């Protein structure tokens, strides 16, 4: 969505600044359509969903080797915080799905007014989690610890 198209929306709806939404959710990539608010919410949904899937893999690694190792780097308190972040993401995802199904312009506008204040602190928590995962790979693991999972 180009800035000029968004500025037209700003005249009709009380929305956050274009730059703020674009910086967080890449709304510049949205193609022009008949329902721009819905398109923005769908883009936000996709972003949130991607992060939720990441946390889901971390909380329940199944056979994902990297997350099985990375979760070892988390204390019980950090795992609880990760689950809290996951719940926040899932609430926002379900909220976007509700908005996409109901087509209420008023509700869509209200959501867009508040999403940044909910997203920014959550994003900071997600960044801490990703850094924690990354830091695992700097640790020196004994080969028998790694191979124990493989055999």
Residue range 45-85, pLDDT digits in tens: 999 999 999 999 999 988 788 998 899 899 999 999 999 99
Confidence at residue 129, expressed as pLDDT on a 0 to 100 scale: 98
Within-domain flag for 2:
no
Within-domain flag for 117:
yes
Within-domain flag for 20:
no
Query: Would the pLDDT of 151 be above 80?
Result: no
Give the total number of structural domains in the chain.
1
Q: What percent of the chain has pLDDT over 90?
A: 81
Within-domain flag for 21:
no
Please tell me the distance from the alpha carbon of residue 74 to that of residue 83, in angstroms, as a whole number: 12
Confidence at residue 40, expressed as pLDDT on a 0 to 100 scale: 97
Confidence at residue 65, expressed as pLDDT on a 0 to 100 scale: 87
Rounded average pLDDT over 100-116: 96
Q: Which of 99, 124, 128, 127 is nearest to 113 (CA)?
A: 99
Query: Residue 83's domain spans which residues?
Result: 34-150
Within-domain flag for 24:
no
Query: Would the pLDDT of 143 be above 90?
Result: no
Q: Which of 101, 100, 6, 83 is nearest to 44 (CA)?
A: 100
| CB contact set of 93 (below 8 Å; sequence gap of 6+) | 45, 48, 49, 52
Confidence at residue 63, expressed as pLDDT on a 0 to 100 scale: 79
Within-domain flag for 17:
no
């Amino acid at each position: 969505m180009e800035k000029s198209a968004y500025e037209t929306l700003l005249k009709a709806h009380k929305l956050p600044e274009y730059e703020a939404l674009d910086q967080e959710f890449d709304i510049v990539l949205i193609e022009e359509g008949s329902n721009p608010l819905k398109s923005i919410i769908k883009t936000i949904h996709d972003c949130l969903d991607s992060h939720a899937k990441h946390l889901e893999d971390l909380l329940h690694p199944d056979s994902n080797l990297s997350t099985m190792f990375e979760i070892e780097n988390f204390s019980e308190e950090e795992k609880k915080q990760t689950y809290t972040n996951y719940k926040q993401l899932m609430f926002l995802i379900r909220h976007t799905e509700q908005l996409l199904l109901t087509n209420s312009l008023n509700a869509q506008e209200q959501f867009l007014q508040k999403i940044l204040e909910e997203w920014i602190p959550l994003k900071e928590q997600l960044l801490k989690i990703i850094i924690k995962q990354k830091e695992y790979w700097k640790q020196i693991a004994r080969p028998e610890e790694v191979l124990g999972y493989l055999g």
